[in-house]
Amino acid sequence: MHNRATSAIRECISSDNANHGIYVGDQARPTLEENTCEGSAWSGIAVCDQANPTVLNNNCTQQTGSDCLLGKCNRDNPWQRMQQQ
């Protein structure tokens, strides 16, 4: 998701992706809830730029990169300083 998307992704399975399982960038503000991300080459859920998603009860395992949150795309991204609870 990117631009200013405000959609929701719920109860989806994302597996064996060449990059991220779920990517949220630009100024998107989606809700990501109860998704399973596994086996992606980079990370299960990537949050970049000025994106500010609501992330609830996701299960991310066996990624080559970070499991659930990757905030390395922009130093000003608040997700760099947070961990999923």
- pLDDT per residue as tens digits for the range 32-84: 999 998 888 888 888 888 889 998 898 888 777 666 665 555 444 444 444 44
* Range with the poorest average pLDDT among 1-5, 10-14, 81-85: 81-85
Residue with tokens 């980079």: 42
Cβ atoms < 10 Å from Cβ of 39: 14
Burial (0-12, 13-18, 19+ Cβ within 10 Å), 70: buried
* DSSP-based three-state secondary structure for 13: strand
Q: What is the pLDDT of residue 44?
A: 85
pLDDT at site 69: 62
Residue 40 near residue 16 (C-beta atoms within 8 A) = yes
